[in-house]
Amino acid sequence: MNKNSSSRAIFLELLLNFVLFTICMAVCLQIFAQAYTTSNRSRSIARASVVAQSIAASFKAAEGDLSQLEQLHGGTLDESGALWLEYDQDWEPSQLPGQYRVCVQPVSSENGLHTALISCKERKDQESEILSLQVSRFAAEEGGDEIE
Amino acid sequence: MKKHVTDVFVVLTLFFAYTASAMLLCAIGAGVYQRTADGMQKNYDMRTGVLYVAEKIRQNDVVGGLRIDQIQEKDALVLVDQTTDDKYETWIFVDEDGNLREAMVSPGNDVKGSDGYPIMPMKSMQLSIVDGSMLDVQLLTGEDELTSIRLAPLCALQEVSG
């Protein structure tokens, strides 16, 4: 009888430990998944910032002309005058719709100052913005300076 | 007797399930940690290399301040300092040991691959002028991560071939 109750006590203790351990394991796995997602997001932001800087430099070199920017980087101009560029999961330019896309949206163009908003977006379940950068450039004929 | 054997079997099974779960959790944790650490290292190499070169170009964006030259048939970025009377050039290039290197020399002096000091591991650096006014910098990091950035220096770029 004593042996039986001792064995049951050990069994119960192990069972309780196992349940507790399973709960902790679920929490840990969730943290690991979050860490992995955060690491990927950090990588995306770093890549996006380099791509956005490159596009900003091209925008300045093209003196705010998005059709010239289209010739330099590819992509498609939509009806609103925004340029859309597609990138794959490694942030390499892609002809087909990829995991990421960059939108160069003209904001204003007054007195020779061309301003555009560069937005890097990620396609997942729904599209989310990774980062955005505003770039301005005085056209050469106005002989102005440039501001970024 | 039979019940006792069953009890022991159940307890042992539970114990092994517990041990296996603990080991699985450790393995998953180690895998995630390794992937995250590798990702961070790649990210660091990519960002640091690109931003270092880009910042150097922006700092020296003055007329006659930038030149693309070559060392042992590899591209080198030459920053010409014109702010002081004692003129000097800063050469940024990738050496044979796979390091991004920076060397300061007097103008006209020959630069060797071993001159200067190493900055960080880098397998290659390619510099090219795009569309006449933009500088395209392509870097292959020590972690085999290829990254490129385009810059629009205001100064006219010079390219020295050979």
Question: Would you list the DSSP string of A34-53?
Answer: HHHHHHHHHHHHHHHHHHHH
Alpha-carbon gap, residue B83 to A73, rounded angstroms: 36
Nearest to B123 by CA among B95, B156, B103: B95
**% of chain A residues with pLDDT over 70:** 91
Which residue in B has a C-alpha nearest to residue A30's C-alpha?
B29
Alpha-carbon gap, residue A17 to A36, rounded angstroms: 28
Reading phi first (left if > 0) and then psi (alpha if -120 to 50, else beta), residue B87 is in beta
Q: Which of B14, B25, B50 sits opposite A14 (nearest CB)?
A: B14
Nearest to B138 by CA among B123, B157, B125: B125
Predicted confidence band of residue A2 (pLDDT cuts 50, 70, 90): low
Predicted confidence band of residue B156 (pLDDT cuts 50, 70, 90): low
User: B31-87: per-residue pLDDT in tens?
Assistant: 988 988 888 888 888 889 999 999 999 888 888 888 899 888 889 999 988 777 778
Does residue A59 sit in helix, strand or coil? helix
User: B94-107: per-residue pLDDT in tens?
Assistant: 998 999 999 998 88
Which residues, numbered 73 to 112 in chain B, qualify as contacts with chain A under a Cβ-Cβ cut-off of 8 Å? none
Predicted confidence band of residue B112 (pLDDT cuts 50, 70, 90): confident
Mean pLDDT of A17-45: 89
pLDDT of residue A146: 47
Predicted confidence band of residue B134 (pLDDT cuts 50, 70, 90): confident
Nearest to B4 by CA among A15, A5, A18: A5
pLDDT of residue A134: 93
Which residue in B has a C-alpha nearest to residue A3's C-alpha?
B4
Q: Answer whether A16 touches B (CB < 8 Å).
A: no
Q: What is the 3-state secondary structure (H, E, C) of chain B?
A: CHHHHHHHHHHHHHHHHHHHHHHHHHHHHHHHHHHHHHHHHHHHHHHHHHHHHHHHHHHCCCCCCEEEEEECCEEEEEEEECCCCCCEEEEEEECCCCEEEEEEECCCCCCCCCCCEEEEEEEEEEEEEECCCEEEEEEEECCCCEEEEEECCCCCCEECCC
What are the tokens at A143? 């002989």
Alpha-carbon gap, residue A38 to B6, rounded angstroms: 47
pLDDT of A59 higher than 60: yes
User: Residue A16: enclosing H or E segment and its boundaries?
Assistant: helix A2-61
pLDDT of residue B1: 60
**CB–CB contact A61 B131 (8 Å):** yes
pLDDT of A61 higher than 80: yes
**CB–CB contact B21 A53 (8 Å):** no
Which residues, numbered 75 to 104 in chain A, qualify as contacts with chain B under a Cβ-Cβ cut-off of 8 Å? none
Q: Answer whether B155 touches A (CB < 8 Å).
A: no
Residues of B whose CB is below 8 A from A32: 28-29, 32
Please, are residues B118 and B100 in contact by the beta-carbon 8 Å criterion? yes
Q: Which of B4, B43, B130 sits opposite A43 (nearest CB)?
A: B43
Between A144 and A33, the more confident residue is A33
Residue B7: burial class (beta carbons within 10 Å; 0-12, 13-18, 19+) = middle
Which residue in A has a C-alpha nearest to residue B49's C-alpha?
A50
pLDDT of A116 higher than 90: yes
